[in-house]
């Protein structure tokens, strides 16, 4: 390798490639690099070539105009060949097959970018269903059959089904990470109580926080533990403490903040599209929490489905393989046969109306006031 792999968080990835090292012969994505290491072939998935790549989205291949390619700091001979999701990248290298104890003719199949393959694996195929991914980065995505230019409140990205698209709402940075941060603050006390009950720390917190009323007795959390670069002054905020509040109020308030924040992001996207949804699929580590999903259901006033299995991304990758091998009749048939719902959460109407009122009259207005204070503290504390 002539240059280290750049993390997706590296700011340089938001700009076209700059050729500074003549030892660099090829420029590719992480999926292209991994595919090369697996197969020895210079192929990549078109479904992972977003933003700073000279991709013609109409044909899912590189632009045929050398001038356009040059605008991205590249030459055609520097780029891997592209295949579509659900097609073959190559065959696993013989020496690698021997090392792993595999047959030497095992094909390696292309998928797409991480969130797009999660959408596929979560079974999102209807226009009125949205996926919420409850991970360190919390995002939500809908599936559509057309691209969208000049979006303001969402990011249109390539789907894991060729010539389909997924729209990603604005995200929550350090979303479920905030729960881990809070668990670490409690420390050994949490571990001890959970151990005595024979349950996980998350289960213990959820069990105790279920007894806290909706709204956490007035404790409001604003989730800016990692602000966006254009608003560096923002910090995480908790408002409204009094003698009623316990650590379980804090925990529930964090979950409610996640739910209200992602709802507002989704509402912004749907308003721009002039569309609605009528059900939610929740995936990721946070989807293991019954309390989190019930709060989501109450916030949106919609049913929330938790899928069976541990990884929607892995399921999406498997569906791409099923399609290639012809085990099922295409992507949608594979979804119907392999994606199952483990549990569905239905909204409590009283809680739904409460959260609507809280969101409209408090949460949406909070940053108007906290921003002004944080602008004063930022020069002092950074």
Alpha-carbon distance of 338 to 316, in angstroms, equals 10
Alpha-carbon distance of 201 to 199, in angstroms, equals 7
Residue 1 in this model has a pLDDT that exceeds 70: no
- Could you tell me if 254 and 176 are in contact, meaning their C-beta atoms sit under 8 angstroms apart? no
b/e code 247-266 from CB counts within 10 Å (16+ = b): ebbbbbbbbbbbbbbbbebb
Tens-place pLDDT, residues 69-126: 999 999 999 999 999 999 999 999 999 999 999 998 999 999 999 999 999 999 998 9
Mean pLDDT, residues 340-350: 98
How large is the angle between the packed helices 312-325 and 331-338, nearest 10 degrees? 130
Q: What are the chain's domains? A: 11-109 (3.30.420.40), 113-382 (3.30.420.40)
Tokens of 29: 């994505």
User: Which position has the token pair 């002004």?
Assistant: 372
Alpha-carbon distance of 44 to 356, in angstroms, equals 45
% of the chain exceeding 90 in pLDDT: 90
Return the CA Rg of the chain.
23
The residues, any chain, with a CB within 8 Å of residue 241's CB and separated by 6 or more, are: 219
Residue 212 in this model has a pLDDT that exceeds 70: yes
Tens-place pLDDT, residues 18-67: 898 889 999 999 999 999 999 999 999 999 998 889 999 999 999 999 99
Tens-place pLDDT, residues 122-168: 999 899 999 999 999 999 999 999 999 899 999 999 999 999 999 99
Q: Vertex 173, ends 11 and 136: CA angle to 5°?
A: 110
Residue 192 in this model has a pLDDT that exceeds 90: yes
Q: Within 13 Å of residue 6, how many CA atoms lie on the same side as its CB?
A: 14
Alpha-carbon distance of 127 to 111, in angstroms, equals 21
User: What pLDDT does residue 51 have?
Assistant: 86
Ranges of beta strands (E only) in 172-242 are 220-222, 237-239
Tens-place pLDDT, residues 278-299: 999 999 999 999 999 999 999 9
Q: Within 13 Å of residue 246, how many CA atoms lie on the same side as its CB?
A: 8
**CA distances from residue 126 to 93, 202, 332 in whole angstroms, order as listed:** 39, 32, 11
User: What pLDDT does residue 119 have?
Assistant: 97
Greatest alpha-carbon pair distance for the chain in Å reads 67
């Amino acid at each position: 390798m002539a240059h280290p792999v750049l993390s997706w968080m590296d700011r340089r990835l938001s700009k076209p490639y700059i050729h500074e090292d003549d030892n660099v012969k090829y420029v590719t994505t992480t999926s292209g690099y991994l595919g090369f290491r697996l197969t020895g072939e210079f192929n990549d998935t078109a479904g992972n070539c977003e933003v700073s790549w000279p991709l013609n989205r109409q044909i899912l291949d590189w632009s045929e105009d050398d001038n356009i390619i040059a605008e991205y700091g590249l030459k055609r001979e520097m780029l891997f060949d592209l295949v579509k999701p659900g097609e073959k990248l190559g065959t696993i290298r013989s020496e690698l097959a021997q090392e792993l104890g595999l047959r030497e003719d095992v094909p390696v199949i292309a998928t797409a970018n991480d969130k797009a393959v999660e959408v596929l694996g979560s079974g999102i195929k209807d226009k009125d269903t949205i996926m919420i991914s409850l991970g360190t980065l919390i995002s939500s995505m809908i599936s559509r059959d057309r691209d969208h230019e000049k979006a303001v409140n969402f990011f249109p990205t390539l789907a894991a089904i060729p010539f389909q698209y997924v729209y990603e709402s604005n995200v929550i940075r350090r979303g479920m990470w905030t729960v881990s941060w809070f668990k670490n603050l409690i420390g050994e006390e949490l571990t001890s109580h959970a151990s005595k009950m024979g349950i996980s720390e998350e289960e213990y917190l959820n069990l105790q926080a279920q007894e806290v009323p909706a709204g956490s007795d007035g404790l409001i959390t604003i989730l800016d533990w990692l602000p966006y670069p254009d608003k560096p002054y923002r910090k995480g905020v908790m408002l409204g403490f009094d003698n009623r509040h316990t650590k379980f109020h804090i925990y529930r308030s964090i979950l409610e903040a996640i739910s209200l924040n992602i709802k507002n992001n989704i509402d912004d996207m749907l308003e721009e599209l002039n569309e609605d949804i009528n059900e939610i699929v929740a995936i990721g580590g946070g989807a293991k929490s019954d309390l989190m999903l019930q709060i989501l259901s109450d916030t949106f006033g919609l049913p929330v489905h938790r899928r069976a299995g541990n990884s929607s991304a892995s399921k999406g990758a498997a569906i791409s393989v099923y399609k290639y091998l012809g085990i099922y009749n295409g992507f949608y048939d594979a979804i119907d046969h392999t994606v199952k719902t483990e549990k569905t959460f239905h909204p409590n109407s009283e809680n739904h109306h409460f959260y609507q009122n809280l969101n409209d009259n408090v949460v949406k207005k909070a940053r108007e006031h906290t921003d002004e204070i944080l602008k004063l503290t930022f020069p002092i504390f950074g």
